[in-house]
Amino acid sequence: MLKLHAGVSKKVGLPGFSSASASCTIEAELDSSLLQDHDGFQTVVRRAYQSCEKAVEDQIARLLVQGNPTPISPVCVPDAPEHPQTTNGPQTRSQSPSRAFQPVTQEAIEVRTSPAISGATVTRIPAAQSTNQPSPRPATASQVKAIRAIAARRKIDLVGLLRERFGLTTADELGIRQASSLIDELKSDEPTTAGTNGNGAYAAGGAR
């Protein structure tokens, strides 16, 4: 079985320190014969992303029309690094440590919006409030890289995990604290890596 996860998210800055965002994720099972057809596979993946992009653009446009704001700056993040994901049938699935990490097996196309614009209305944060309570700092690039590396190593369905736990599509959308906790959690129930202590940090004297 060949599985494809494709996702795109977009965030538009709005006046008054508010924003609107939308994301779209496609999860699909593909015919495994596509593995032998490089061009065909690339075409399918490209179309998946294009479909996501179109859905996200439409949703953002709807939100802007309803809220009537003028966007400041769009930030669109194709969710490429985690996908496409190839799994190896039931054997791989049985290695998943919890239900949260189970790969999704049915085809699903969904358009999700972030909590900030749930109900398709733009939520605007009063300027004074946003000044005093700045948005949480996003996860660092190295945290995102670490989460993806751990997920890949442990064959975890990262998209499913992020959606279930945080209501997010990509690791880039996590806050720095969320990312930190997730890394700790993912590492804590992993067999101890040789040479590392409980924090994932190495004990000294390890030159080999």
Site for another protein contains 129 (CB under 8 A): no
Q: Are 162 and 169 in contact (CB under 8 A)?
A: yes
Smallest distance, another protein to C-beta of residue 91, A: 23
Residue (13 or 67) nearer to another protein, CB: 13
Helix (H, G, I), strand (E, B) or coil at 83: coil
Member of 32, 33, 42, 47 binding another protein (CB under 8 A): 47
Smallest distance, another protein to C-beta of residue 126, A: 17
Query: Environment class of residue 148 by beta-carbon count within 10 Å: exposed (0-12), middle (13-18) or buried (19+)?
Result: middle
Residue showing tokens 């508010």: 18
Residue (62 or 119) nearer to another protein, CB: 62
Site for another protein contains 201 (CB under 8 A): yes
Helix (H, G, I), strand (E, B) or coil at 122: coil
Q: Are 82 and 28 in contact (CB under 8 A)?
A: no
Residue (49 or 157) nearer to another protein, CB: 49
Site for another protein contains 31 (CB under 8 A): yes
DSSP state letters, 195-206: TB-TTSPBPS--
Which stretch, 6-14, 82-90, 92-100, 158-166, contacts another protein (CB under 8 A)? Answer: 6-14
Q: Are 139 and 174 in contact (CB under 8 A)?
A: yes
Site for another protein contains 35 (CB under 8 A): no
Query: Environment class of residue 27 by beta-carbon count within 10 Å: exposed (0-12), middle (13-18) or buried (19+)?
Result: buried
Looking at residues 141 to 180 of the shown chain, list those that interact with another protein (rule: CB under 8 A). 141-143, 145-146, 149-150, 153, 176, 180
Q: How many chain residues interact with another protein (CB under 8 A)?
A: 61
Member of 29, 100, 165, 166 binding another protein (CB under 8 A): 29
Looking at residues 78 to 97 of the shown chain, list those that interact with another protein (rule: CB under 8 A). 78
Member of 86, 90, 137, 167 binding another protein (CB under 8 A): 137
Q: Quote the radius of gyration of the chain (alpha carbons, Å).
A: 19
Member of 4, 156, 162, 168 binding another protein (CB under 8 A): 4
Q: Are 146 and 174 in contact (CB under 8 A)?
A: no
